[in-house]
Amino acid sequence: MRIVPLLSKHTSVRHPWSGEQGLASDIEILHRGSDGKQSWANLGDWSNAREYGAAARDLAMRVASAAGLGADHLVLDVGFGYGDSLALWLRDGAAAHVDGVEADPLRLQYARNRYRRSIEEGRLTLRRYCGSMQETVCGGSEPAPQARLAGLFDIVLAVDAAYHFPSMSDFVGECVQLARPGARIAMCTVALRHPIKASSRGHSALVRALASAAGIPSRNLLTAEQLRAQAAYLGCSDVRVRDLSAEVLGGFAAFVPAHLKAQSIHPWDRGASRLLATAALCRNAERLGICYHLFSARCPD
């Protein structure tokens, strides 16, 4: 879960199918009662889904579709969480290779254990974010092979993580630099419906406080027009910004209380309170002028 980092930061439980440590308590709750070995950790696209795993997968596929993911692509996946998206790109997307970047060391190690075979086969490389996308991918102790150095990724994806970077503008710029000419980037982000007016001090303070609690730097609270302008400044074309607030925020807000009730989970159980806090923020997003956008663009030639 990305929108409120209070969710799944420290407490973990044994994985329901493997007994491994590392799956956070709130993420385990979201998957409780579902079939299959899943550990998705995004807000989900609830357009057609009724259970969490399907919704989370649908959101990931929606981002991949916006980027035009296809067979034999070299993919950079930023903020992959526990790694469900990695398998999706390699299996359903038939990607030639996936480079994954994750800031959380526990999630990174979890994914390394889970996808050890793909790593050994040379189809997957996982790295810990070190403060700069360029340094993370092209430097450090495990630099990308020459064929995948800066400027040669076919697709750059960030399903539900971009708005947590210190500066989303800088992050998008680094993604453009890492992509080959003409490649597409796609990511979801929390955004503003309208610019915050200086005269609305009370509202501005509330939004910024909630953003801070959710681990979202205030500089990343941009409108769709500002996102388009920044992409144009970077030389991108075919910039698309789609509002997914109803499908994502509204869907997650409705799912959480119903799911807790169906699974007989008390609101104060470990992880449940964090889920309810996130659901409450999602439910009140429209009133606060907060929305959820899918952003994609074609990198300069």
Q: Exposed e or buried b for every residue in 223-248, given b needs 16+ CB within 10 A?
A: bbeebbebbeebebeebbbeebbebb
Question: Is CATH 3.40.50.150 correct for 12-298?
Answer: yes
**What are the pLDDT digits (tens) for 197-249?**
654 777 788 888 888 888 888 888 889 999 999 999 999 999 999 999 999 99
Whether residue 51 contacts residue 256, with contact meaning beta carbons closer than 8 Å, is answered with no
Can you give the pLDDT of all 301 residues of the chain as single tens digits? 454 544 444 334 444 333 345 578 899 999 998 876 889 999 999 999 999 999 999 999 999 999 999 888 999 999 999 999 999 999 876 889 999 999 999 999 999 999 999 999 989 999 998 887 877 777 655 555 444 455 679 999 999 999 998 888 999 999 998 999 999 999 999 999 888 765 477 778 888 888 888 888 888 888 999 999 999 999 999 999 999 999 999 999 999 999 999 999 998 888 899 999 999 989 988 888 899 999 999 999 8
State the number of CA atoms in the 13 A half-sphere of 207 facing the CB: 26
pTM of the model: 0.89
User: In the chain, where are the structural domains located?
Assistant: 12-298
Cα 61 to Cα 56, 191, 279, 298: the distances in Å are 9, 21, 22, 18
